[in-house]
Structure 1
Amino acid sequence: MSNNLSEISEFKCPLCSKTLANTEYELAISQLEEKLQQNFDEKNSNQKEEFEEQISRLKKDYEKTIEENHRSHQIQLEQMQQDIEKSYKTQTELMQKNYDSILKQNEKQFVELEKQLKAVHKKEISEKGKEISQLKKEQEKFKKAAIDQANATYAQKERELYQTIQERDVQISRFAGEIESLKKQLQQSQSELKGEAGELDLYSSLTDAFPNDLFRRQKRGQSSGDVIQQIRIRGKSLDTPIVYDNKAANTVTKKDIEKAKKYQKIHGTNYVIIVSANLPKTSVPNGLFGTREGILLVHPSIVTEVAKQIRTGIIDVSKLSMGKEDQKSKQAKLYQFVMSSEFSMTIEDIAGINEKLYLLQTKEEKDHNTLWKTRRDLYDQLVKTYNDVTSGIESITQTDLDEITAEVLEK
């Protein structure tokens, strides 16, 4: 309690230093603060008015100064412009005088320089003329020496070439006989290869047409037909074979007919067929089937059809239960029928039907190809039209995209 009283007694008035109680001290402080605030506000307001008046006066003085400066500057600018024009005019007149003087001096110097250059050029031309004449003389000498050397070299090469030509002529004369021999061998081998190819085609066609029959080809070095067909029915081979002689030459000769007759005796059959794509028109007017001295002449395109007819006749005769003499008689009649014009007409009819079928097949294939080509062309036109439309759209969109990009870049 005594401590609290001592603390209260320490509060004094800030103005008169009189000891005050706590509440009195707070009241005095509050009044003092209000009075200070009023003094401050009054003083601040007065200072603000004074400052505004000073600013207004300074502003007027500044505007007046600016106006005076502007007038002074305008007068100075006009004076400077006049001075510059006078100076420019004076300098222009002076430069014109100097230019005229320099121009006259340059003209004199140019005339003198032109004279000097002409003299120097004339002297150089004279010297160059002398050099050219000297070079022409040296060129003539060099040309003459080169021609002499070339003539000598040409003569030497001519002698060497003549000697080489003579040596080659000797070699050519030596090789001429060998070349002719090789040509003959080559022609012979080519004809043999051609005949071999035709024989293989014939063998393939026959084996495909008659898979149950036996076929054998001629062995080289033996006198025999190219292909021998042994007819088989029910696992048994018939005695009468069909013999084929393939010819790749340009025509069927008398020698070929004689060989075919020998094959008839060798193989014990009347049915020897010469197969050739170049049948003689005298014996085969239709170019497909004919006979000559008892030998059948057949084009490769119908050889299987002819073989079918002959094969059927041989099988029918073999099925008859009769003696050998009767069978021989029937075979002879069959052979006569095969050699007859009636059989030839039948074969011609078969060939004609085959040709019509081939032409029909060819026409059908051609029509299909034409249809496919037309369809492919239409597809190509469709694709082209689609590409044109797509390209047009892309060009438009691309142009717009380029313009937009350019605008963005510019921004």
Structure 2
Amino acid sequence: IIDEVHMLSQAAFNAFLKTLEEPPEYVIFVLATTEPNKLPITILSRCQRYDFRRISTETIAERLHEIAASEGIDVDDDALHYIARVGDGSMRDSVSLLDQCSAFQFDHKIEYEDALNILGAVDTSVFSDMICALNKKDIRDILNIISEVIEQGREIGQFINDLIMYIRNLLLAKSVDNLNGLVDMSGENLLKLKEDSTLFSVDELLRFIRMLSELSNQMRYSVSKRILLETTLMKMAYPETDASLEGLNAKLSEIKRNIAGIDIDSIKNGNLTGTPVNTKNFAPKEIKSDSPKKVALPKAQYEDLQLLKKEWRNICIAVPSSVVSVALKDSYVKPNREHDGMIIVTKSKACYKIISENESKDMLCKVVENRYNKSIKFVTELSEEKENSTIYVTDDDLSKININVETEG
């Protein structure tokens, strides 16, 4: 028996070929490999080929149950099924995982939750919460879920693979009536799965799988795995950030979903019903004029503005939260109309939600105070207004220049 036969060198294959052509009557060669495409055609043509399939989850679970009984391992049936599923068709890997669980839980029964903890996996309810947060575009909730997963010691790569599998199950729930044999879940989780499958279209779910699969490949070479995961989930929540055809289709699906929630008859009657949308905080402000305005400021505020403009990029980088730092990337500052602090202006709704959090503004204030010994308050504004649309001068400059100046306040 020659295991991993594809690892033989070309010289070894040539030497082996002569023996294979005229084998002794009492010898049978068994060549085992996971990559038959790497074997020379001269070897393949002289062999009978048998392709082994993956072992079913049920068969592995039954065998694990026999092993557990013979070895005196007290383990729950749900835990055995989960171990068999993680083994992904390999009996050897599944037995190794069972041995790993028994080593950790040798003093009491191995429950389903124990198997999840030991193997670094996440309960399906977490993925359901993530799908709901993506549907609501709740970035704060998404980041909290990731924080909880990492704090519990879960492995990020395993979390991504399990999330891909959950979205795959959502696709099946949307496309197939009978999920028996296709999805390994309890009845309660299956009902939740079908409920979650209505939140997104097939195009959106396919886009999620593509983005997460690409992320899984990037994880192998990245040292900033958490940042990659957070930014990818933010892009998933906001398809307008994806310029690909799939991103456009996802945005169209979102628009269709929003339209489907509107009662057409109520529109005809002048009463719009459906999901209420608060446009007060998210409606970009109109730009009244293309020509720059001239605004006079108190000298102290003017100096603070010039300092922040000059150091804004460095300040954004210095913010301890990577998510807030990324959200501040395309923003700028302008004076507060109340002459008290500054306004952070951004045109991205996703970034606006992140920056508007009190924690985000507190972090920014601390950076400014520690670096420049200045206490400056910040508020946020969602606007399409360009940074150079207003010219700011000091009150002292009014007597030195002869232009029309608008004094704020």
The structure with the larger Rg is: 1
When normalised by structure 1's length, the TM-score is 0.19
Higher relative contact order, structure no. (Cα contacts within 8 Å, ≥ 6 residues apart): 2
Whichever structure has more helix as a proportion of its residues is: 1
When normalised by structure 2's length, the TM-score is 0.19
